[in-house]
Amino acid sequence: MRFKLILMSFLSLLLVGFLAACGSNDEDQADENAANDTEETEGAEDTEEDVVTTASLVNEPDAFVNAVSEDGTWIIAALDDIAIDEDVVVAGEFYDKDDESGDIYRKIAPYTQDEDHNITDSFTITVPSLTVQSENLNFQGGTLQGDVIVEANGFMLDETATIDGNLKFANEEAESSATIDGEVTGEIE
């Protein structure tokens, strides 16, 4: 576990340097989104290093697939539309803001937002199917184009999100524990 933390810190420093060198407005906005989503308790200060170690900022299919894997991160912030040609599995147990004393929680956030948490741009993740095996996954602020198969409890489709496809639950418990406030264009089974 300690090795993972050291490795993540090293990779974070590399990513911070890369982001600074690129100077892209989209990446700056994604950093801001992650900072807003990873705020600690009242009065705590956010640092850029905290932001990078707790979020995966993705704009490529492979990066998205890695970020949602069991070796990924608790929050995955998309920087652009992403099209993936293969089925994807969201796996692993994660905690809100990486705080293991808190609730089990994971979030896919294909959007950008301003400092007041207003969504400024939404993105589409296109995939044949997305299988949810991570408990309490929240899909917020964008569109998932493809079918979603929920095998874990606590799935959330935020009112700001859309599934452009079918939503299927593996069992009654997964369905009864889900919160579907967003739009589903296909069948809910």
**Which pLDDT tens digit goes with each residue over 144-165?**
999 999 999 999 999 999 999 9
What Å distances lie between residue 129 and 87, 145, 168, 183, CA to CA? 5, 9, 10, 17
The residue to which tokens 């919160």 are assigned = 179
Position 96 in a domain = yes
Nearest to 128 by CA among 110, 109, 149: 149
Tell me what the mean pLDDT of segment 73-90 comes to: 96
Position 28 in a domain = no
Domain residues for the domain of 80 are: 55-184
pLDDT at 1 over 80: no
Position 118 in a domain = yes
Number of domains in the chain: 1
Tell me what the mean pLDDT of segment 97-124 comes to: 94
Query: What percentage of residues in the chain have a pLDDT greater than 90?
Result: 67
Position 1 in a domain = no
So what's the pLDDT on residue 130?
Answer: 98
